[in-house]
Amino acid sequence: MLLSEMKKNQTAKIVHIGGNGALRRRILEMGIIKGAEVYIEKYAPMKDPLELIVKGYHVSLRVEEASQITVENVK
């Protein structure tokens, strides 16, 4: 599943980060790395961007950026 497909209040584990160049580096620098757990806090009113929690930090990503990240659900 893609990070952009997750619903509010879901938790997932990052499996793969796509993209290349500056976008990929920016995502990794924010702590969004393989194996990290992410929690979808909320979506903006127009569903873009989304706010997630990674390692205790609140991070906002555009849906386009989140579609580059593959995750698996955590129960």
pLDDT of residue 1: 94
What is the reported pTM? 0.86
pLDDT in tens, 19-48: 888 989 999 998 899 999 999 999 999 889
Structure tokens belonging to residue 3: 């990070």
**Cα(60)–Cα(66) distance, rounded to whole angstroms?**
10
Q: How confident is the model at residue 5 (pLDDT cuts 50, 70, 90)?
A: very high
CA distances 23 to 12, 20, 29, 74, Å, are: 21, 6, 10, 26
Domains of the chain plus CATH, in order, are: 3-73 (2.30.30.90)
